[in-house]
Amino acid sequence: MSDEVVEGLRVRDLVVELGYVDRAGLEEALDLQEDLHEQGVKAHLIDVLEDLGLIDEDQRLQVLLHQEMRLVLADLPGARRDQRHDRWVMAAIVSASLIRSPLGVLAAAAALAIGAWLAAGRPWRWVALGWLAATAVPGTAAAATAAAGVTGTSGATSRERATALLRAAVLTTALAPVRLLPVELTPLHYFVAAALALAVARRPR
Amino acid sequence: MKGPFLRSPQSTRGLMVQVVVAASPALFAAVVRLGAPAAAAILSAVAGAVAVEATLKHRSVADGSAVVTGAIVALLLPADAPPWLAAIAGALAIGLGKAPWGGLGKNPFNPAALSRAVLMVALPAHFFAPAWRWDAVTAASPLSKEIGATAPSWTALVVGDAPGCLGQAAPWAVVAGGLLLVALRTIDWRVPLAYLSAIAAIALVLPGGARVTGHAPWLVGDPMLHLFGGGTLVAAFFLLTDPATAPMSQGGRIAFAWIAAIATMAIRNFTPYPDGAALAVLLANACAPWLDRVTIERRTQLGTSSRARRGRREWRVPWGRQREVSDGARPSGGTRSSRPTGS
Amino acid sequence: MMPISAYDAVMLAVAVTVLGDRRGRIGWVAVVPLVAALAALAPLGEHGYLVAPVVALVVTLPPLRAPAPALVLAVPTYGSLPAAALAAALYVSSVWLADLLDRRVEERGPPPSWRGAPARLLVLAVLYATLLPVGHL
């Protein structure tokens, strides 16, 4: 089993990925868990999170279900190509849907590239402020919003965010000519196309 | 019967044959009334479905489910649907409505309704035409949103003289097929009864008003128009009764039919959509997991109850959010849940 | 540039929520259309261009946990407060339905290549088509 699959199984990753706990809360729980370990109490992180009130009973169950599900899925073909690609594809969908002209799509790609630069090695807060600055320029609000599509993933590292944004910028640029087609494209078209593309990409060879 | 598994005396293929036989009168009537174009549309829809099924999962072609899906897709198509549109609809029903979810019995949405809904968004021109062709005469559909369109007579509706989708070519034939399925116990009679009675009741009590009557004044207060118009009957007997996409419990299925009825009437009366039946079925399908949760999981208390889980744990961190007001005493040890947490 | 419809924006926000930015602040995100509608009602005159960045500031900075769907919801122009409330309700109910369906799909075991994001995107596509009439209410 590859490292990336094991990485996605940890409670600390799951609770953040599922949006139940933010980084600060997780740090708090980890500190407490470490304190408990020093006291000789080997507490599971999920118990600590629940006792701190950071997750409730349902969320605890969801985390455990996800963990068990991923354990099963990890041995199935295609599972190892994890969900890493989902987010930048999603960002491209958002930007392509929001922007209704080829020039606007290029602007979105530029915003995504700027987002990538901001995301590299910088905390998420700065990226948000970068988008905010971009929205102040008339006409680029949608482009800046598109950039938010991927990097709002609170569990990703700065490098992963930057890579995702760059990929999204490339895909968004590639989608610019699609806007020239005489077809009214809706999010439904993008959802179906992206689902098919991701499924084909994950097909075991 | 072997082992702990329940087995039905009916094979999948047997069930599919029953459904095809039940759909046959409606399909045959459509061909008789509309001629070669209807036959071409029906054959194209079936061919599209079977071709995709054969490509993606060739073994399951023999069970006949693709033929059933193609036939029901055809019943939902506009009367003047060209063969290529029918073929795409059939292919979409299998390609998007069945295969991605794991095949027969695993799809959360009815494939035929899904196919129609997706095509309605992707190719709206073929579904939002102001008037549909019927017997070489252009006329408004009974559920048309054309202001000023006149209501067809009840006789025309029942016999099938009113324009609409292929399934409307002979409503009596759809009813006959549905009753055959009920008689054979292939479908749960409560579902169509709950759906149709709710449609009729809503049509009677729905008050008139600018928003409603602005679309089609004659729609208000006439249950027959709603029962025999659009895809109501096809939805009642062939879409809502799909066991894979309906709730498991009896109560859940009745609530499911009511949700579909409310959605059908809301779409017909308050939106510019030509017919709400297929979309309403999809909405009801989307609610099916919730209905199962309400009617089955809670009653049987499936899953892990929080109280039981609490009981298994022998210690809790005593301070939690009140950490700062505690005296600093910490638990000295204990056993914890044996479930793997990976931390 | 043709503006995006409120319905498309809501469904995109649902997609971003379901696929990436997770659930913690759905309630907060649902407030965004109301904030955007109120901001649009503000008598800013020639300073109307400030609406977008101010809404972005309001919706992005406080939560910092679900900015993507919040920003997507801040983009369209909501005709009135009831329309914004409808958008908020649509967002919450769509996320709820998508979650229920996601669970159902996972329980039934889709093919490995369709697990996860592809199946979720398909669910979203069907929900988009199904709930489209709501956009006309």
- CA A183 to chain B, closest CA, distance in angstroms equals 9
Mark whether A68 and A113 lie in a shared domain: no
Confidence of residue B228 (pLDDT cuts 50, 70, 90): confident
Model pLDDT, residue B339: 37
* Average predicted confidence (pLDDT) for chain C: 79
In a domain, A129, yes or no: yes
Confidence of residue C21 (pLDDT cuts 50, 70, 90): low
Model pLDDT, residue B337: 37
**Tokens found for residue A6:** 């094991």
- B124, B84 contact by CB (below 8 A): no
Rounded average pLDDT over B284-299: 83
Model pLDDT, residue A139: 47
* B259-286 residue pLDDT tens: 999 999 888 877 777 678 889 999 999 9
- B86, B42 contact by CB (below 8 A): yes
Model pLDDT, residue A84: 55
Model pLDDT, residue B299: 59
What range defines the domain where residue A187 resides?
84-202
Mark whether A62 and A109 lie in a shared domain: no
pLDDT at B240 over 60: yes
C21: helix, coil or strand?
A: coil
Confidence of residue A85 (pLDDT cuts 50, 70, 90): low
Q: Which has the higher per-residue pLDDT, A127 or A195? A: A195
Confidence of residue C32 (pLDDT cuts 50, 70, 90): confident
Confidence of residue A81 (pLDDT cuts 50, 70, 90): very low
Mark whether A102 and A58 lie in a shared domain: no
Q: Which has the higher per-residue pLDDT, A133 or A37? A: A37
Each domain of chain C, given as residue ranges in start order, spans 6-136
pLDDT at B188 over 80: yes
Mark whether A59 and A15 lie in a shared domain: yes
Amino acid making up residue C27: G
* B107-117 residue pLDDT tens: 899 999 999 98
Confidence of residue B20 (pLDDT cuts 50, 70, 90): confident
Model pLDDT, residue B313: 43
| Cβ-defined contact of A44 to B343 (cutoff 8 Å) | yes
Q: What percent of chain A has pLDDT over 70?
A: 43
CA B43 to chain CA mean position, Å? 22
Q: Select, from the ranges A39-48, B147-156, B173-182, C27-36, the one with the highest average predicted confidence (pLDDT).
A: B173-182
Q: Point out the residue among B96, B336, B340 whose CB comes nearest to the CB of A43.
A: B336
Q: What percent of chain B has pLDDT over 90?
A: 20
Model pLDDT, residue B115: 93
pLDDT at B191 over 70: yes
C126 neighbourhood in chain B, CB within 8 Å: 109, 114, 117-118, 282, 286
Give me the number of domains chain A comprises. Answer: 2
How far apart CA B53 and CA B90 sit, in angstroms, is 10
Model pLDDT, residue B48: 92
pLDDT at B303 over 50: no
A112 neighbourhood in chain C, CB within 8 Å: none
Mark whether A69 and A167 lie in a shared domain: no
pLDDT at B207 over 70: no
Mark whether A143 and A52 lie in a shared domain: no
Mark whether A192 and A132 lie in a shared domain: yes
Model pLDDT, residue B130: 43
For A146, residues 6+ apart whose C-beta sits below 8 A from its C-beta are: A91, A94, A95, A98, A99, A108, A111, A112, A172
Residue to substitute from C102, C122, C128, C130, interface B, most B β-carbons within 10 A: C130
- The number of residues in chain B equals 343
* Average predicted confidence (pLDDT) for chain B: 74
Domain final residue, candidates A19, A41, A73: A73
Mark whether A24 and A113 lie in a shared domain: no
Task: Decide the pairing of beta strands B132-134 and B137-139.
Answer: antiparallel
The DSSP secondary-structure symbol of B165 reads B
Model pLDDT, residue C69: 75
Confidence of residue B13 (pLDDT cuts 50, 70, 90): confident
For B208, residues 6+ apart whose C-beta sits below 8 A from its C-beta are: B217, B220, B221
pLDDT at B320 over 50: no
Q: B12-300 adopts what CATH topology?
A: Ammonium transporter fold (1.10.3430)
Mark whether A164 and A139 lie in a shared domain: yes
For B6, residues 6+ apart whose C-beta sits below 8 A from its C-beta are: none
**Tokens found for residue A89:** 């594809």
Residue to substitute from B245, B264, B290, interface C, most C β-carbons within 10 A: B290
Mark whether A175 and A112 lie in a shared domain: yes
Rounded average pLDDT over A95-114: 63
pLDDT at A130 over 60: no
Model pLDDT, residue A195: 86
* C40-88 residue pLDDT tens: 777 776 776 666 666 766 665 554 555 667 777 877 788 888 889 999 9
Mark whether A47 and A118 lie in a shared domain: no
| Cβ-defined contact of A73 to C112 (cutoff 8 Å) | yes
Q: Point out the residue among B101, B271, B290 whose CB comes nearest to the CB of C137.
A: B271
* Residue in A182, A44, C75 with CA at minimum distance from that of residue B336: A44
pLDDT at A36 over 50: yes
Mark whether A126 and A189 lie in a shared domain: yes
